[in-house]
Amino acid sequence: MRKIADPWPMMAAGLRALSGLMVVALAAAAVPAFGAPDGDVSLLPQTASIATRSAPPMPLAYPTTRAVDLVEQKFGVAVADPYRWLENDVRVDSDVAAWVREQNRVTDAYLAGLPGRNIFQQRMKQLYDYGRYSTPRKGGSRYFYSYNSGLQNQSPLYVRDGLKGAQRLLLDPNSLSKDGATALAEWEPSPDGAFLVYAVQEGGSDWRTLQVIDVTSGRTLSDRIEWVKFSRLAWDAQGLGFFYSRFPAPPRDKAFQSPNENQAIWYHRIGTDQSADRLVYATSSRPKLGHSAEVTDDGAWLVITSSEGTDERFELTVVDLTRLDWANPRWKPRTLVRGLEHDWKLVGGRGNRLWFVTDKGAPRGRMVTLDAAKPRRAPVEIVPERPDTLAAGSMVGDRIILAYMSDARTVAVLVESDGRWVGDVPLPDIGTAAGFGGKAGDPETFFSFSSYTTPSTVYRYDTATNRISLFAQPKLAFDPDDYLTQQIFYPSKDGTQVPMFIVRRKDLAISAKAAPTLLYGYGGFNIPVTPAFSAAKLAWVEQGGVLAVANLRGGGEYGKEWHDGGRLANKQNVFDDFIAAGEYLMANGYTGSGQLAIEGRSNGGLLVGAVVNQRPDLFAAALPAVGVMDMLRFDQFTAGRYWVDDYGYPDREEDFRRLLAYSPYHNIHSGTDYPAILVSTADTDDRVVPGHSFKYTAALQAARIGPKPHLIRIETRAGHGSGKPTDKLISEYADYYAFAARWTGMELKAPPPPHSVRPD
């Protein structure tokens, strides 16, 4: 029933009930990622190299940033906020727009002069240039999937009539805008495959516009639905219409900053105007609740999952769809699970019996059934808790696939609907599996599998026979066998053993020499970081660098206890885990002094900002992207109000004092030399509004923190990450890693000539 999600959900941000389940990984092509070249690399001999260290750094002439005398008293503490004016929307405030232009002018000039920038850009372009398929979804006898031939900015959507049918282009989002920044976001075929509803994402915004395609003709219908955000798309069994989630239309000048409240479930009938849509479920007395809707495969029940924050603490509401007059439906919601206390993920349903994965009575998850017609009955356990974390389940055919995490790697098992074990799903290797969407009665499903050095390969899986077969495998511009991935466990400050993946070239692993190292972390919102492929990060490793990915507390690698160990009063544990990872890499010879760069996005951007303030001596370079940098005002904008589950409430004294202690914006220490820092954000980010990064950068540049550069890269027509065009991804990551290479002393070599390595 529920598809196990693809890698890289971007920060929970209230999306837990809607973002699918399972994994976060380093797949830069799917991840939010955020001048003049340094010479024609094609003219360099293939053995040439560029040393990235040069003369000692000279202080940069930063743009002047106006500081205002704004000090607020909070719980007896005077809190200065001299750059609050930078919170204003860059598209509305001309002063903020001018500041952005000046910052980009200085940053662009600096990046244009970086040795090796063009080397990274050229090689990343080669590494990105491979065919990428999504896992297919079925509607009737039709198969729907996206496919990117390599360097297309957005991935077109295709359909096949039958598994062996000819591939037919259904929708090409590259035709929707000249700059490639209009993306195809969520989509879902009707049960019979006659229609497909899809979401259009403009410039990286979280807002969506829904439209519908007649699959047979390929014609886009007149249906158009606006102000959709954080929504599933769920068809009724007849394919007459679909359920979706939307917010009230905000004022146009506040659309990208106002908090999201009063989300409701609506039903849209194909061929009608949005004004005719039927309200299904709303909670006006509890405006902070968000809602998502699913329909069981047999069409019997609408299951509504409601939450208030980012925690997996849900209420369940059901609507019996079997007795509706669809021409004039009257919805009769009934509560199935009351109280925001536990996680409930729908696995599937047959008649009145619904299967769920829950942490009720099992911190690492178990599978139970509930009776939709008799809400007061207690859950019946089908699969008990086990040591690994149960992330998700999907009913496919007459059986159920359960996906577990074992030390941040995917393990999948097949069970009967009554919980009896059938066998392990035969995954091809150690890594991350995603997909497994399917339907009761149809044993066919698809999943993708990837690792740090192998891009996603798509497999077909038959639950009746427990056999897999290849659906699509990419041709690559490198040989995965040239690289080595290992998993180690290191002690954090309090002795907790933390897992970390380390990726290197095999020849460098054998030589065991210290090398420039990129350390990545996230540590929040119960989101696990699992192995997946990133062309950009492979370019770093290919140049002789080390990639290290730490599975910090606060994530979802080991269930509720691991999450709780890194949030609220325990948030400092996340920073301690990350600092300990850096110290381990140095102490064990992976990297040396002046060779360690750190990277994080969103909540990971907060992580980078906080640890730089706490241990500026440990790092040579820092790459905080789209970060939450003002911990006293994060809840004032868009999705920020959801994050109190992990961070706490800034207006409560106990939480305020904790937040103030690590807030990156408020804890920059003048008089201490800081590493080189390249902040990044985007002008249309309405998840973590760019004001966080603007204010943080202004504070960095005003402080006396040494001569290394402290710059900000501000992308235009881009948001928090999803939907970012391929050319922007390549340009952005080439800038990131050329900057990190410069300050970690990496010796860059010109890329090899393009070639293709045919997979086995």
pLDDT 10s digits, 99-152:
999 999 999 999 999 988 999 999 999 999 999 999 999 999 999 999 999 999
Q: Which residues pair with 487 in a beta bridge?
A: 501
User: For the whole model, what pTM was predicted?
Assistant: 0.90
pLDDT confidence of residue 53? 52
- Known catalytic membership, residue 720: yes
| Virtual torsion, Cα 444, 448, 449, 453, nearest 10 deg | 160
Residue 472 CB contacts under 8 Å (≥ 6 apart), including other chains: 131, 133, 457, 458
Residue 12 vs residue 544, higher pLDDT: 544
Percent of the chain at pLDDT > 70 equals 91
Residue with tokens 């507390």: 553
pLDDT confidence of residue 50? 56
pLDDT(755) > 90? no
pLDDT confidence of residue 663? 98
pLDDT confidence of residue 375? 87
Helices in 371-520 by DSSP H: which ranges?
506-511
Report the alpha-carbon distance of residue 272 to residue 264 in Å, rounded.
19
Mean pLDDT of 598-612: 98
Residue with tokens 């495959």: 193
Burial 576-602 (b: 16+ CB within 10 A, else e): bbbbbbbbbbbeeebbbeebbbbbbbb
**Assigned token pair, 543:** 């140049």
Report the alpha-carbon distance of residue 37 to residue 648 in Å, rounded.
45
pLDDT confidence of residue 621? 98
Q: Which of 18, 33, 57, 45 is nearest to 705 (CA)?
A: 57
pLDDT(23) > 50? no
Q: Is the Cβ–Cβ distance between 276 and 262 less than 8 Å?
A: no
Distances (CA, A) of 160 to 156, 291, 325, 591: 14, 33, 33, 49
**Assigned token pair, 82:** 């001299």
Helices 571-587 & 603-614 angle (0-180, nearest 10):
70
pLDDT confidence of residue 478? 92
Q: Which of 301, 300, 267, 266 is nearest to 282 (CA)?
A: 266
Q: Would you give the DSSP letter of residue 3? A: P
Mean pLDDT of 285-301: 96
Mean pLDDT of 509-514: 86
- Give 760's Cβ-side CA count (13 Å radius): 5
pLDDT confidence of residue 99? 97
Determine how β-strand 621-625 pairs with β-strand 676-682. Answer: parallel
pLDDT confidence of residue 215? 98
Mean pLDDT of 305-313: 94
Q: Is the Cβ–Cβ distance between 687 and 636 less than 8 Å?
A: no
Q: Where are the beta strands (DSSP E) in 174-289?
A: 182-189, 195-202, 208-214, 219-228, 234-235, 241-246, 264-269, 278-281
Tell me the domains of the chain and their CATH numbers.
Answer: 85-126+478-749 (3.40.50.1820)
Q: Which residues pair with 132 in a beta bridge?
A: 148
Q: Confidence band (pLDDT; 50, 70, 90) for 352?
A: very high
Longest dimension (CA), the chain: 77
Residue 248 CB contacts under 8 Å (≥ 6 apart), including other chains: 227, 262
Which of 602, 663, 680, 722 is catalytic? The answer is 602
Mean pLDDT of 480-492: 96
pLDDT(443) > 70? yes
Residue with tokens 């040396």: 592
pLDDT(452) > 80? yes
Report the alpha-carbon distance of residue 301 to residue 295 in Å, rounded.
6
Q: Is the Cβ–Cβ distance between 442 and 460 less than 8 Å?
A: no
Determine how β-strand 596-601 pairs with β-strand 621-625. Answer: parallel
Q: Which of 379, 439, 450 is nearest to 133 (CA)?
A: 450
pLDDT(366) > 90? yes
Percent of residues in the chain assigned helix, strand, coil, to nearest 5: 20, 35, 45
**Assigned token pair, 592:** 């040396």
pLDDT tens column, 207-254: 999 999 999 999 999 999 999 999 999 999 999 999 999 999 988 777
**Assigned token pair, 277:** 């849509």
pLDDT confidence of residue 56? 54
CB neighbours of residue 264 within 10 Å = 18
Distances (CA, A) of 474 to 6, 128, 449, 536, 758: 17, 11, 12, 17, 8
Q: Which residues pair with 470 in a beta bridge?
A: 459
Element (H, E) at 120: helix 117-128
pLDDT tens column, 623-646: 999 999 999 999 999 999 999 999
What average pLDDT is seen over the chain?
Answer: 90
- For residue 740, report the phi and psi dihedrals to the nearest 5 degrees: -65, -40
pLDDT(744) > 80? yes
**Assigned token pair, 27:** 């797949």
Report the alpha-carbon distance of residue 606 to residue 612 in Å, rounded.
10
pLDDT confidence of residue 614? 98
Burial 295-311 (b: 16+ CB within 10 A, else e): bbbbbbbbbbbbbbbbb
Q: Which of 512, 546, 539, 510 is nearest to 750 (CA)?
A: 539
pLDDT tens column, 637-674: 999 999 999 999 999 999 999 999 999 999 999 999 99
**Assigned token pair, 561:** 């206890």
Distances (CA, A) of 679 to 83, 234, 609, 682: 16, 38, 9, 11
Q: Confidence band (pLDDT; 50, 70, 90) for 512?
A: confident
Q: Is the Cβ–Cβ distance between 211 and 185 less than 8 Å?
A: no
CB neighbours of residue 137 within 10 Å = 21
Which of 492, 710, 720, 731 is catalytic? The answer is 720
Determine how β-strand 77-80 pairs with β-strand 71-74. Answer: antiparallel
Element (H, E) at 336: strand 334-342
pLDDT confidence of residue 710? 98
Q: In what order do the strands lie in the sheet with 389-396?
A: 389-396, 399-406, 409-416, 421-424
- Known catalytic membership, residue 755: no
